[in-house]
């Protein structure tokens, strides 16, 4: 619609000039809006289009996006200059999250500055990160060539893999039809250092490069993920060794603690969610707690520090106790099969354990992976 100035008592020449100025400004605004809209991403994509001239890798982990293992891995891959990297990792430590997904709650995603890579931190679990990244809702890709979970400090050997958020991230990729690797480092408390993680990242580069090359050639094992455990002395490793999953797990120790030592409040406030979400949740919890107190005001609350309870309580008493779970770092002793994952790592090998979604073809998978490792690393060397 044309813009005009009503003629009150102004000279016709002035009115004509004003009309020209208004029309000129209106056209400039339209052109400016058109330029801006063309530079913005479409509704179907949320980040810049990746460089498809290089193989695209998705990096995640379980310890959080700021963990040194992930940073060193990204740096090593960027220095190799053969890959385009996207990072989608938890904003905080989710090491023992297992394969849990966040449902009935909103997951917050925030961009993170990471030189050479497109990176996002996610308020959910490692499995959330991979599921979201591969869904197309966050990135514009169809799918990456390879998903790498790591490098994570601590063992993912044996039955630890069932608790491991790192393995779960790689497994989620496999479920979504994308080849994946899980990289874990056998971190020794008071012995290992961050330089060991850097050496571990460089150690894994030949295997990652071989995996990407053979995925593109259709020669990489498709029915499993590779759970890779790096020994505590990466530079002194004895080579890569195909291993089987053992039955070992880190011993668990539940300890009763007093109410004053209950860590929930501190952990709650240290959560890196937005302050508004925290306050809303605190208000909701406080309201629920108040309603419960009014409903059960006739009951007596008893806090107990120890595990043992003497005698029996009647039905009018509510017992509240606090416990903390600690994961011990003890390894199995005695003779063990040299081809088991934890034993190979203890002996100084990089353990490569194929993990499939079904155990029916395990022997066939192990043979296939063994042949691939021998051929792939032979070519790299």
State the pLDDT confidence band at 335, using cuts at 50, 70 and 90: low
- For the stretch 128-157, pLDDT in tens is 999 999 999 998 877 899 999 999 998 888
d(CA 232, CA 346): 8
Tokens of 93: 């430590």
d(CA 71, CA 85): 12
* Average pLDDT over every residue of 258-277: 50
- For the stretch 90-99, pLDDT in tens is 999 999 899 9
Residue 314 exposed, middle or buried by CB count within 10 Å (0-12, 13-18, 19+):
exposed
- For the stretch 16-64, pLDDT in tens is 655 665 566 566 555 555 555 444 333 343 445 556 689 999 999 999 9
Does residue 268 carry a pLDDT above 60? no
Please, how many CA atoms are within 13 Å of residue 161, restricted to the half-sphere of its CB? Answer: 27
Please, how many CA atoms are within 13 Å of residue 190, restricted to the half-sphere of its CB? Answer: 1
Does residue 307 carry a pLDDT above 70? no
Mean pLDDT of the chain: 79
The residue among 246, 279, 216 whose CA lies nearest residue 346 is 246
Please name the residues in contact with 55: beta carbons below 8 A apart, sequence gap of 6 or more.
Answer: 82, 83, 84, 145, 146, 212, 216
User: Which position has the higher pLDDT, 53 or 360?
Assistant: 53
Residue 45: count other Cβ atoms within 10 Å of its Cβ.
13
Greatest mean pLDDT among 254-263, 300-309, 349-358 lies in 349-358
Does residue 2 carry a pLDDT above 50? no
User: Which position has the higher pLDDT, 380 or 230?
Assistant: 230
* Average pLDDT over every residue of 190-219: 95
d(CA 163, CA 125): 12
State residue 179's pLDDT score.
Answer: 96
User: Which position has the higher pLDDT, 318 or 120?
Assistant: 120
State residue 223's pLDDT score.
Answer: 86
Which helix (H) or strand (E) segment holds residue 128: the answer is helix 126-135
Beta strands in the chain (DSSP E): 56-60, 84-90, 109-112, 117-122, 146-153, 180-185, 224-230, 240-242, 252-257, 300-304, 317-327, 350-356
Does residue 68 carry a pLDDT above 60? yes
151: preceding bond cis by omega (within 30 degrees): yes
State residue 108's pLDDT score.
Answer: 96
d(CA 53, CA 25): 43
Does residue 89 carry a pLDDT above 60? yes
The domain locations on the chain are 56-252+346-361
Greatest mean pLDDT among 7-11, 32-36, 126-130, 300-304 lies in 126-130
- For the stretch 159-194, pLDDT in tens is 888 989 999 999 999 999 999 999 999 999 889 999
d(CA 10, CA 308): 96
The answer to whether domain 56-252+346-361 has CATH 3.40.50.11710 is no
* Cα dihedral 151, 155, 158, 161 sign: negative
User: Which position has the higher pLDDT, 290 or 143?
Assistant: 143
């Amino acid at each position: 619609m044309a813009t005009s100035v009503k003629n009150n008592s102004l000279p016709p020449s002035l009115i004509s000039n004003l009309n020209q100025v208004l029309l000129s400004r209106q056209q400039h605004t339209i052109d400016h809006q058109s330029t801006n809209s063309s530079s913005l991403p479409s509704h179907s994509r949320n980040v810049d289009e990746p460089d498809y001239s290089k193989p695209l890798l998705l990096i995640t982990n379980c310890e959080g996006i700021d963990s040194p293992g992930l940073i060193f891995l990204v740096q090593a891959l960027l220095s190799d200059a053969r890959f385009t990297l996207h990072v989608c990792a938890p904003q905080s430590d989710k090491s023992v999250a297992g394969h849990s997904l966040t449902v009935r709650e909103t997951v917050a995603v925030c961009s993170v500055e990471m030189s050479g890579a497109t990176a996002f931190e996610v308020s959910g679990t490692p499995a959330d990160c991979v599921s979201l990244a591969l869904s197309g809702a966050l990135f514009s890709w169809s799918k990456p060539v390879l998903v790498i979970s790591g490098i994570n400090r601590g063992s993912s050997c044996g039955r630890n893999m069932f608790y491991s958020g790192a393995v779960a991230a790689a497994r989620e990729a496999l479920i979504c039809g994308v080849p994946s690797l899980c990289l874990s480092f056998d971190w020794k408390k008071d012995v290992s250092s961050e330089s060991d993680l850097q050496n571990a990242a460089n150690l894994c580069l030949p295997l990652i490069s071989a995996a990407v090359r053979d995925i593109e050639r259709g020669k990489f094992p498709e029915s499993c993920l590779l759970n890779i455990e790096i020994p505590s002395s990466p530079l002194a490793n004895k080579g890569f060794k195909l291993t089987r999953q053992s039955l070992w797990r880190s011993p668990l120790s539940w300890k009763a603690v007093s109410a004053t030592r209950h860590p929930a409040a501190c952990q709650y406030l240290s959560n890196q969610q937005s302050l508004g979400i925290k306050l809303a949740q605190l208000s909701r919890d406080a309201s629920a707690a108040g309603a419960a107190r009014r409903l059960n005001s006739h009951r007596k609350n008893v806090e107990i520090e120890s595990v043992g309870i003497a005698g029996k309580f009647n039905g009018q008493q509510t017992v509240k106790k606090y416990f903390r779970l600690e994961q011990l770092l003890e390894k199995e002793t005695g003779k063990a099969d040299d081809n088991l994952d934890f034993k190979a790592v203890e002996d100084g090998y990089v353990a490569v354990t194929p993990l499939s979604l079904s155990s029916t073809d395990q022997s066939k998978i192990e043979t296939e992976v063994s042949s691939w490792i021998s051929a792939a690393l032979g070519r790299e060397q």
